[in-house]
Amino acid sequence: MSSIPMIEQTAGKGAARAAQRGVGSRRRGAPGGTMRRPGFLTYGFLGAVILGSLFPLWWSFLVGSHDSSVISKGVPLVPGGNFLANAASVLDTIPFWKALGNSIIVSTVTALSVVLFSTLAGFAFAKLRFRGSKGLLVFVIATMAVPTQLGVVPLFIVMAKLGWTGSLWAVIVPGVVTAFGVFWMTQYLRDALPDELIEAVRIDGASMIQAFWYVGLPAARPAAAMLALFTFVATWTNFFWPFIVLDPSNPTLPVALQLLQAAHFVDYSIVLAGAVLSTIPLLLLFAVAGRQLVSGIMQGAVKG
Amino acid sequence: MAVTDRVQSPPPNSHQRASRDRSVKRLAFSQKVSKWDVKLSPYLYISPFFLLFAITGLFPLLYTAWVSLHTWNLIGGQGKFTGLENYEFVLAQPFFWNAVGNTFSIFLLSSVPQVVLAIAIAAVLDANLRAKTFWRMGVLVPFVVAPVAVGLIFNNLFADQAGLFNELLTGVGLDPVRWHSDSLASHAAIATMVNFRWTGYNALIFLAAMQAIPRDVYEAATIDGAGRLRQFFSVTVPMLRPTIIFVVITATIGGLQIFDEARVFDQAGLGGADRQWQTLTMYIWELGWGQRNFGRASAVAWLLFLIIVLIAMANFLITRRIASQGGRR
């Protein structure tokens, strides 16, 4: 029993070492060495890009913070004091809290299960020897290019047969493991988890699942966190399938949000207040974990 | 991490406590278990993916072809076998061909400028900036805004009357654009939303690829007297080719299935009065859930699937050719 923390520690170190190696190879040249600092033009261009990325959100808040009678005469460039009133109208028009809760449940459950199953499969593909492993991995990668979204009609028929239409299960179950996740974890574990470590715990009498749990999972932690983040964001923003299979009375956030515009009379100050409200949770997540998202995308690009 | 109790095989030290005889038997047994453990575990671990893909991915996709050969109603269910009748019907619809045109138009308007702009942004991010992380995070913000929210916001910005973009146009003396009735203008508006969300994301992918280009290539170019612009076009862009292809393929698969932004571009969500911006996925929705005709919806889905497969294969062949010509990967 006492060996477990030690293994964990070693695995953690191994993972850390591999991660460091990864970062090191991507950094080039001596920092601040031969490269000269860029000039005003560079920062100007970047500033414009950032302005473009942020402006629509700011605009949404501007419109959402004014009364519709003010908006019709042209949107002022300073926020008004009507945001809370508009937000209250949003809560009256759509089941916002229910949608928020549903989105949290669906995204969290999906992210956790994708991480678990992908790490499990990645562990097998990267570290265990079995017949057909190469061919099966190629198959996994190939499925990434398959537009499974086009199977909506039969998927809907199946969900209707199971009586799952309108329930969150219909949204959660098709997403519990993804080809991308399996590929991502396989790539990561191949470098981050030394074979000797698995051999060592196997000799100590650990079963396969124990080797996974005590050595594989800890080593996978950094990549697993990124995978969880991406899955969470992707699930949270997903619209097409939830829109088809869920009921307007039991929606996720994007499904509820589009209901704001489906009314006969569209009040944009309320619609855009809703857009702001629904975006706040992910903006908060971005403030906390945006750095991880950035490095996740960049690592995926180099490995993929 | 909490230490949970060990399951399955008993911890090794329990062997020592048992009698010799028993321990031999148990050892033999546990060896057998261990052998099966080694053999079967890998398959067990990868099975969730394959099971799920078979049930929620592959089966629905193949079954789509089966449904498309029947009359099939959303409520009434399976009707009689009708062969290719659904295809004949769909292929004779002007709305089908309209949707094909719209899909490709929006796709081209979104993918081409997006790749160009993303490379430009990546090149700038690749400079020796102060506060690198801040800029990188800044370009990624739109990625966490849901497409539906993006659609609603831009729908307002692109409003035909008194929308911000039209106000700006009239402000500089130009005619306002009828974003919601002119077909091409609506495609440009929807493409803008797609670009808004994905350009920064792709810029980070290109940035990572740029940083993987070995320094000495640039040094050699400098010695040869190439300026910075010349280096960008003669070194950076060719070295990025595999990444460009990757981004284009991903953009193709996603872009040809575009739904969210176009769906919320007006109240009705069917793609405009004359279906000016109805995409193929929207057409599938209209046939299947608007008109409750699953047979016809499946026919369109299957056709779109074939289109995507054809384009992906073309992409793949081009990639292979480039790779065999001595690309980096």
3-state SS string over B236-255? Answer: HHHHCHHHHHHHHHHHHHHH
DSSP state of A304: -
Is residue B171 situated within a structural domain?
yes
* Residue B73 included in any domain: no
Q: Which of A71, A96, A294 to mutate to test the interface with B (most CBs of B within 10 A)?
A: A294
Among B149, B196, B301, beta carbon nearest to A152: B301
Pair (B30, B56) in one structural domain: yes
* Contact between B164 and B157 (Cβ < 8 Å): yes
The predicted pLDDT at position B312 comes to 79
B320, B203: one domain: yes
Alpha carbons A164 and A245: distance in angstroms, whole number = 9
Whether residue B118 is found in the same domain as residue B216? yes
Q: B6 is written with which tokens? A: 């060990």
Q: Does residue A74 lie within any of the structural domains?
A: no
Model confidence at B26, in pLDDT bands (50, 70, 90)?
low
- Are the beta carbons of A269 and A66 closer than 8 angstroms? yes
Please tell me the predicted confidence (pLDDT) of residue A303.
54
pLDDT of residue B165: 93
Residue A76 touches partner B, C-beta closer than 8 Å: no
HSE of B286 in the Cβ direction (CA atoms, 13 Å)? 19
Alpha-carbon distance A214 to nearest alpha carbon in chain B (angstroms) = 9
Residues B50 and B98 in one domain: no
- What's the average model confidence in pLDDT over B296-318? 89
Per the structure, how many domains does chain A have? 1
Calculate what percentage of chain B has a pLDDT beyond 70: 89
Q: Which of residues 115-134 of A touch B (CB under 8 A)?
A: 117-118, 120-121, 123-125, 128-130, 133
**A121-167: pLDDT as tens digits:** 999 999 999 999 999 999 998 888 788 888 999 999 999 999 999 99
* pLDDT at residue A188, rounded to an integer: 93
A128 vs B6, B42, B196: nearest CB: B42
Determine, for residues A209 and B147 on separate chains, whether the beta-carbon distance falls below 8 Å: no
Asked, for residue A27, whether it belongs to a domain, the answer is no
Structure tokens at B176: 């306002």
Question: Does residue B316 surpass a pLDDT of 80?
Answer: no
Residues B31 and B138 in one domain: no
Contact residues for B129 (Cβ-Cβ < 8 A; gap 6+): A38, A42, A43, A46, B135
Number of domains in chain B: 2
Domain that holds residue A140: 3-9+83-303
pLDDT category, A244, cuts 50, 70, 90?
Answer: very high
Q: What is the mean pLDDT of chain A?
A: 85
In a domain, A72, yes or no: no
Evaluate if residue B11 carries a pLDDT over 70.
no
Task: Give the largest CA-CA distance in chain A.
Answer: 77
Note whether residue B22 is domain-resident. yes
Q: Which CATH number do you get for residue B196? A: 1.10.3720.10
Calpha distance B282→B10 (Å, rounded): 57
| Residue B1 maps to a domain | no
Q: How many helices (H) does chain B have, and how many strands (E)?
A: 16, 2
CB atoms closer than 10 angstroms to residue B282: 25
Q: Is pLDDT above 50 for A73?
A: yes
CA distance, residue A163 to nearest chain B CA (Å): 13
ipTM of the complex: 0.85
Which stretches of chain B are assigned E, i.e. beta strand?
Answer: 70-73, 77-81
Summarised one tens digit per residue, pLDDT across range A257-303 is 999 988 767 888 999 999 999 999 999 999 999 999 999 999 876 65
| pLDDT, average across residues B308-326 | 75
In a domain, B53, yes or no: yes
Please measure the distance between the N-terminal and C-terminal CA atoms of chain A and give it in whole angstroms.
Answer: 38
DSSP state letters, B149-206: HHHHHHHHHT-TTT-HHHHHHHHTTPPPP-TTTSHHHHHHHHHHHHHHHHHHHHHHHH
| Residue where the block lists tokens 């307002």 | B156
d(CA A68, CA B182): 27
Supply the CATH number for residue A127's domain.
1.10.3720.10
Note whether residue B58 is domain-resident. yes
DSSP state of A81: S
Do the domain assignments include residue A63? Answer: no
Chain A partners within 8 Å of B45 (Cβ): 120-121, 123-124, 128, 212
Q: Please indicate, yes or no, whether residues B134 and B260 belong to a single structural domain of this protein.
A: yes
Same domain, B89 and B54: no
Inside any domain, residue A43: no
| Any domain includes B5 | no
Domain shared by B53 and B171, yes or no: no
> Which residue of chain B has the CA closest to A142?
B312
Distances in whole angstroms, Cα of residue A178 to Cα of each of A185, B10, B99, B327 = 11, 34, 29, 30
In this prediction, residue B8 carries a pLDDT of 44
Alpha carbons A78 and A159: distance in angstroms, whole number: 48
Per the structure, the complete domain to which residue B24 belongs is given by 13-67
Query: Is A38 within 8 Å of chain B by CB?
Result: yes
A264 or A170: whose pLDDT is higher? A170
* Residue B171 shares a structural domain with residue B214: yes
Q: Has residue B27 been placed in a domain? A: yes
Cα Rg of chain B, angstroms? 28
Mean pLDDT of A186-195: 92
CA A142 from centroid of its chain's CA atoms: 21
Burial of A77 per CB tally in 10 Å (0-12, 13-18, 19+): exposed
Average pLDDT over every residue of B2-9: 41
**pLDDT at residue A14 is higher than 90:** no
Quick one: B40 and B98 in the same domain?
no
> pLDDT class for A16, splitting at 50, 70, 90?
very low
